[in-house]
Amino acid sequence: MVDLLRELNAAQREAVTATEGFVRVIAGAGSGKTRALTHRFAYLVNELGILPGNILCVTFTNKSANEMRQRIHQLTGDNDTGYINTFHGFCVSVLQEDSHAVQYPKSFLVLDNSDIDAMLQIIYEERGLTLRDMTYSAARDMIEMEKLLHRPDYYRDMIDLSLDTLKEKYDRAAGVRDIIFYGYLYQEKKCFGLDYNDLIKFSLYIFQQNEDIRLKWQRRLEYIMIDEFQDIDQIQYQLMEVLCGYHKNLFVVGDPDQTIYTWRGANVKYLLEFGKRFPGARTILMMDNYRSTPEILAVANSLIAKNRERIKKDLIPTLPPGPPVLCHLADTQCAEADWIAGRIKALHDTGVPYRDMAVLYRAHYVTRAVEEALLREKLPYTIYSGVQFFGRMEIKDALSYLRMIAYQDDLSFLRVANVPKRNLGKRRMAFLQEYAQREGCSLYRALRENMDEPIFKGTRAASFLSLIDGFSDGYEGRPVSEVLSAILNESGYEKMLRTEGSQERLDNLAELKQSVYEYETTCGEEVTLEHYLAHVALFTNADAQDQGDKVKLMTVHAAKGLEFPHVFLCGMNEGIFPSRKVRTLPGMEEERRLAFVALTRAERGLYLSASQGRNFDGSPRYPSRFLLDIDQELLTFVLPPREGLIREAREYIDRSWTYLAEDDGTALPVGQRVRHAVFGPGTVLDADMDLRSHVVQFDGMETPRRISFRAKLERITQAE
């Protein structure tokens, strides 16, 4: 026990040893919350004798889960690290064990964006849709919002309806949204695929409908820990409530000042009102900051103090003083970018590696001038765009081969049946799709049943069947890394890349093999191919990082959870940061929290910049209110602001406050009948969360109208 607690401060020690009941830890940025979580896990195992398999620790990214798993392994020496997962990863474990409760096989597929796009392609081709009707990206967003907001009971169609009935529903669909939505549900059920929303919905459904299964998991999970609790959404919260209902040991860690994901459903009230939901809950404050200098923390504390909806607290510095926080109000965007490039060059000349510097911004479009300046100065940089390792073509191909071995699913078949070339082009694929549709079978089975057809003479289809059958019959019990190496070799895939001279892609495959091997050695249990495929499907964009000695350019959202010795926060102008899209007071508080996150990424040097001049619409460009929120004596201005600039900016900001609504408003569902005080009755056609408005077709008008959330729309009930 002494070893585990020795290096912890008083608040961390309290968090680690508070094992029973409901505990809320408010952990400021850089306060060592990961250390507290890992040490608490180790304390439960080493000192209290709790089995790792009876502990659930939830993180919000796979990267965080992997890092935590490694740290816990080092502290406990035990290969078994329990359930250290994202919510989605944990639900995969539940469904792999209990999918029979929803009549799904254990070999269900976890769908990622490329799988969803492949399904959309099928739907678009079947129903004659084009990207002009809706882009794939917009379709994915639409499907997610339909599942979360407008049709939260959609999962019952997937569970209760037969495939034929769901197909009929899809065939009857008329509007573009309905065609895409029901076509997607049909495609999901057809291959037993589940996306991220489905994983939690299906798990909750099983727990609600089957008391024995619910009790089994409740009893198993004696201790539950949840990281980044400020980012939790409604269905994740519901899942958590169910899981902790037996032992009533729940430990949550979060920071209300770092809630920046309300746009995707996160709700900070779950953290703020934790004590109301769980009376007698204990609250521990971890405010000692081990990341940033006192100068940086003073600026961050000064900014976030202007928010009203928060727990009042200040980050406490533990590091010695550093350089002042510099602020530069440049005359133009180009001048702002030149100043940033000049500071980067000067820092590098003093021995600071480029990789120790990051340029953060509110939106990607801000980078144009910065990139041009970096190119002019020949300074190496990379845009952290979220292009993930597991999204690269050769990696997707390799994983599709593994999925063919385990599942023989249609999506994987379409991806690799003709890679390398086996003379299975569009005409032959169309033949197989038509046969599979008619017979209600997979494309792989369709190929096997039609091998004697003349259309497949002169192809290498037989060798593909033989390859997959051979691996499918003998992969169980073999290490996944070994299976991967063998299939890439025997399929001719690596030979194809060598012939093409694609060394970079071969290097990526080598990295994939290494990652599989590391997963096998750190997982702490026997890894099956199915487990690995479920694990790898859960990777998110945030899990990828560009390596090399380069300055990193990224949005503030992408920087969440990261830290850098030197941070440049550019584009600190009204309409840029805060975003011009903000229309509510809660939305403005979220923007301020986002700025707080940006400031607290910096360890030693923090550089804030804005530019004057004109916006795209010709309006004057003012410094951000977030710069003015900071006590001015805490900032060192590179040049004194022009006379009158700060006064003009404050006047502009004061005027803009009058246009901010008090709350976010609530969107009415599509199809809702409503009554307007002047326009009379109508039907809601759409809701635009960015513009905070409904699109309504009023009965007495030929064309629809866009109505602000601020206008009262009375719901009309069916009885009326």
User: CB under 8 Å to 317, separation ≥6 — which residues?
Assistant: 289, 292, 293, 294, 297
Within 10 A of 137 (CB to CB), how many other CB atoms are there? 12
DSSP 364: G
DSSP 565: E
β-pairing verdict for 602-611 and 705-708: unpaired
User: Which residue out of 38, 81, 230, 258 is catalytically annotated?
Assistant: 258
Contact 154, 214 (CB under 8 A): no
User: Which residue out of 291, 601, 604, 692 is catalytically annotated?
Assistant: 601
3-state secondary structure 634-667: HEEECCCCCCCHHHHHHHHHHHHHCCCECCCCCC
Residue 606 and residue 600: Cα distance in Å, rounded? 9
Q: What angle do CA 443, 445, 448 make, to 5 degrees?
A: 110
CA 702 to centroid of chain Cα atoms: 41
User: Which residue out of 17, 34, 388, 522 is catalytically annotated?
Assistant: 34
Identify whether 318 is a catalytic site residue.
no
Identify whether 612 is a catalytic site residue.
no
Nearest in space to 515 (alpha carbons), one of 336, 626, 392? 392
Token pair recorded at residue 557: 């959202």
User: Which residue out of 12, 13, 24, 33 is catalytically annotated?
Assistant: 33
Identify whether 712 is a catalytic site residue.
no
Contact 110, 89 (CB under 8 A): no
Residue 570 and residue 582: Cα distance in Å, rounded? 19
Residue matched to tokens 């064990």? 97
User: Which residue out of 115, 146, 227, 590 is catalytically annotated?
Assistant: 227
Contact 684, 639 (CB under 8 A): no
The SS3 of residue 314 is coil
Kindly tell me the burial class for residue 324, based on how many C-beta atoms sit within 10 Å of its own C-beta (0-12, 13-18, 19 or more): middle
Identify whether 601 is a catalytic site residue.
yes
In the sheet that holds 250-254, the strands lie side by side as 83-85, 55-58, 223-226, 250-254, 22-27, 282-286
Identify whether 34 is a catalytic site residue.
yes
Residue 233 and residue 270: Cα distance in Å, rounded? 9
3-state secondary structure 222-267: CEEEECCHHHCCHHHHHHHHHHCCCCCCEEEEECHHHCCCHHHCCC
User: Which residue out of 188, 228, 336, 394 is catalytically annotated?
Assistant: 228
Token pair recorded at residue 637: 């201005």
> Rounded to whole angstroms, what are the CA distances from 594 to 110, 261, 601, 633?
31, 9, 11, 22
Residue 720 and residue 347: Cα distance in Å, rounded? 70
Identify whether 227 is a catalytic site residue.
yes
Q: What is the set of active-site residues?
A: 33-34, 227-228, 258, 601
